[in-house]
Amino acid sequence: MKVYVDGKYYNEREAKVSVFDHGLLYGDGIFEGIRAYNGRVFRLREHIDRLFYSAKAILLNIPMSRSEMMRAVVETCRKNRIRDGYIRLLVTRGIGTLGLNPKRCKNPSVIIIADKIQLYPPALYQRGMEIITVPTVRNLHSAVNPAIKSLNYLNNILAKIEANNAGCEEAVMLNANGYVAECTGDNLFIVKKGQVLTPPLSAGALYGITRQVVIELAEKASLPVAEPDLTRYDLFNADECFLTGTGAEIVPVVKIDGRVIGNGKPGPITRKLTAAYHALTKVSGEPIYE
């Protein structure tokens, strides 16, 4: 595997960062997780835009333009002969001192890894997932805004550990007001009386790219979509529930905090949107090999 680090390609074992990189010392940096399907990078422009928005929010100057970054991602896929894969793009604050001061970090580092995708087992998509609400609440907007896809994922990791301890793969995270925000690495949707509902981004969610694609697919299928504040009660009494994310795609949820959702099987609207999503990923995206 060839890994892109600051404009050069290194073999996997030689691709390294300094122990003085503030990405490592303080989680001071940002990232994206991107998928390639069928020789195309899916929603590349949207991922690069979100990366630049995250950078702006943390006052990090990415040392490349958006189009240079898009080209670097595509080139890294090409070098690794990726047709279907997962791309991890990171920008760290760069090498500094042991002190916090980001001013000491003169050159942000850009790293691009194009690898195979690790998926949940297919049976989970057929049967549906059981999830639970966890005690760790989502970061406040006024602290570290959850819209920033930062290298400091401890908030999410703590919630994931709590879910794992309870035997679940994913956790519902509430915000400080008790409303549903999202899961640790996925956005959350419910279906109620034919309506597709997902918490507003202001509830403390990442501006999910899969979330946006699913909203567009639902609208195309003439399904009403809304973004109301949702409580756990709303989740328990949903007809269907599913999660969305670049890595996991669309995951049906059949049990939340011990309550069976709908009839306990992945619902018809979830299945319809999943089929539409798969159809779209096959044909859409930035070509790698043309």
139 binds ligand PMP (CB under 6 A): no
Q: Whole-angstrom Cα distance, residue 106 to residue 194?
A: 52
**Is residue 163 packed enough to be buried (19+ CB in 10 Å), middle (13-18) or exposed (0-12)?**
buried
Identified binder of ligand PMP from the candidate list 162, 169, 182, 240, rule CB under 6 A: 182
| 151-170 positions binding ligand PMP, by CB under 6 A | 156
Q: Whole-angstrom Cα distance, residue 205 to residue 245?
A: 12
Nearer to ligand PMP, 62 or 209 (CB): 209
Size, binding site for ligand PMP by CB under 6 A: 15
Identified binder of ligand PMP from the candidate list 185, 204, 252, 266, rule CB under 6 A: 185
Nearer to ligand PMP, 2 or 189 (CB): 189
Q: Which stretch, 97-105, 203-211, 234-242, 265-273, contacts ligand PMP (CB under 6 A)? A: 203-211
Cα 72 → chain centroid: 20
Nearer to ligand PMP, 130 or 186 (CB): 186
Cα dihedral 218, 232, 124, 113, rounded to 10, equals 70
DSSP assignment of 34-99: EEEETTEETTHHHHHHHHHHHHHHTT---SS-HHHHHHHHHHHHHHTT-SSEEEEEEEE--B--SS
Please check whether residue 90 is in contact with residue 30, taking contact to mean a CB–CB distance below 8 angstroms. Answer: yes
Shortest Cβ 172–ligand PMP spacing (Å): 12
Fill in the amino acid letter for 252. Answer: P
Q: Whole-angstrom Cα distance, residue 257 to residue 63?
A: 45
206 binds ligand PMP (CB under 6 A): yes
Place of tokens 């990090």: 60
Shortest Cβ 7–ligand PMP spacing (Å): 26
Residues 2, 149, 160, 192: which is the catalytic one? Answer: 149
186 binds ligand PMP (CB under 6 A): yes
Sign, Cα dihedral of 94, 88, 181, 183: negative
Nearer to ligand PMP, 149 or 192 (CB): 149
Beta strands 259-260; 249-256: pairing state: antiparallel
29 binds ligand PMP (CB under 6 A): no
Identified binder of ligand PMP from the candidate list 27, 33, 102, 200, rule CB under 6 A: 33
Nearer to ligand PMP, 80 or 244 (CB): 244
Fill in the amino acid letter for 39. Answer: G
Number of neighbours of residue 122 by Cβ within 10 angstroms: 8
285 binds ligand PMP (CB under 6 A): no
Shortest Cβ 224–ligand PMP spacing (Å): 21
149 in active site: yes
Of 94, 108, 112, nearest in space to 33 by CA: 112
Q: Whole-angstrom Cα distance, residue 64 to residue 4?
A: 14
Identified binder of ligand PMP from the candidate list 85, 208, 262, 267, rule CB under 6 A: 208
| 239-268 positions binding ligand PMP, by CB under 6 A | 244-247
Nearer to ligand PMP, 63 or 117 (CB): 117
Task: List residues with catalytic annotation.
Answer: 149
Q: Interface residues with ligand PMP (CB under 6 A)?
A: 33, 156, 182, 185-187, 206, 208-211, 244-247
